[in-house]
Amino acid sequence: MKIGWALFCLFLGWAHNSFAQSLDSNTQRLQQLPVGYLNRVSSQAQSIDQSLQKKTDQYMNKLSKLEAKLWRKLKGKDTAVSMPYQQWGAQMQQPIAGAPATYVPGLDTLSTTLKFLQTQQIPGSTSLNSSALSSATAQVQQLQGDLNQGNLIQQYVAQRKQMLAQWISQYTHLPPGVTTLFSQYKETSYYYQQQLEQYKAMLNDPEKMEREAVTILNTVPAYTAFMAKYSMLASLFQLPAGYGSGSASTQGLQTQSQIQQLLQSQVGGGGGAQVQQQLQAAQSQVTSMQNAVSKFGSGGQDLTMPNFQPNTQKTKTFWHRLQYGANIQFQKTSLNFPTTGDLGLSVAYKLNDKGSIGVGASYNIGLGTGWNDIQFSNQGVGLRSFMDWKIKKTYYVTGGYELNYMSAFSEISQLQNRSAWQPSLLVGLEKKYKISSKLQGNLQILFDALYKQEIPQGQMIKFRVGYAWP
């Protein structure tokens, strides 16, 4: 009896030590979270939320003005009563109660992570203090609420667009400009939808600090269990315990015969055949409505905007539309040795999916006179401006204006001599090719229309090899 009691005490001691070691291990892992993680989360969520609210206001104001112009164009006709957008604009300051939840994987992970950290007691942790945690949680909740509201507004705009289309389709002769205004209305609603998707994509691409934090938390068993139970994904797809094992995975699911009985009770004895007939009749009505709505009198425009080419750059921020590049060009070869090389850096702003404009600078480095006499020297600098435009697939027409200081110099003050700067007017073709998901290569062959004015006379044809990354 004494031996059994001793073994039991030893077991309790071992269990207590194991539990304590587990708690200590989890605490140590949580203390490894990056310093400033919560502040960074709060700052990022606030920045995205403010931008989202600003963009929503801009799009709603534009749609409101377009709709007002449409009603004025139809003045004197039997127009419907318009629900003003200002009613919705007044509610932009706070999320609409009851708005359906918008699932964004990255935001779901972030929100559930903050909820988990609220349940943890981490003594001595300066990076996970309660005030920073409360602030981050509030900002993330605000962002989630505004995304929910954005989706609700998007549904409302879609209903308005459909109502406008049906109303316009009733007229045989429309006042001038109605079709153009309605096309602008459809394009604006499309870009608002893409803008929402852009913000969701930003949230699904976490920064380095956030990825590091999730990597650390994934080593804590309690965190993975918490995510599986309390995340939005878990609430959307609640699976019973033991799902996938034995008969438990199919328990409670309707069988094929039960589904057929349900159909027969709803549509009669015809079953599937009658359902098929009803679907065909509904499809016929939808097609008829589309044909009527797509014709605004004589030769109108289809609602699906078949000729509309969306600009995927339009919904991106200024900084996300910038593309950085570098190129190199060798000149004056002698005995198969390039005596100088132009190294250029540039930044381009994407106007749309076809074209971009940009500026850059170049540095001309002297390489020496031959393989046995390699010497580096300052042989010139340049300022560049350029523009390119896609003509077919990966081929572009490109051109630009450049100013080049084409003399050797040893001091920066020498570059202040404006008369020493010589212009170049370039035009040519460019071939772009993909190297990786984040790196693009390009080949340029350019004609310099001012090459004869250069002293000494420059090259008529220039060949450049470059790289660009977003």
CA–CA separation, 54 and 58 (whole Å): 6
CA–CA separation, 466 and 430 (whole Å): 10
Q: Give, in order, the Cα–Cα distances in Å from 453 to each of 140, 404, 460, 463.
A: 61, 12, 11, 19
How high is the pLDDT of residue 358?
Answer: 96
- DSSP code string of 275-309: HHHHHHHHHHHHHHHHHHHT--SSS---TT-TT--
Tell me how crowded residue 67 is: count the other CB atoms within 10 A of its CB.
20
Sign of CA dihedral 407, 408, 410, 412: positive
- Return the DSSP state at 411: S
Q: At what angle do helices 272-293 and 256-267 cross, to 10 degrees?
A: 60
How high is the pLDDT of residue 190?
Answer: 92
Sign of CA dihedral 212, 218, 220, 222: positive
Provide the residue type at 101 as one letter: A
How high is the pLDDT of residue 155?
Answer: 87
CA–CA separation, 154 and 190 (whole Å): 9
pLDDT profile of the chain (470 residues), mean per 10 = 50 44 59 79 91 91 87 63 48 53 86 86 59 89 91 87 83 82 91 91 84 83 83 66 42 49 56 61 59 44 60 86 86 55 89 94 75 67 93 94 84 82 94 89 93 82 87
How high is the pLDDT of residue 233?
Answer: 73
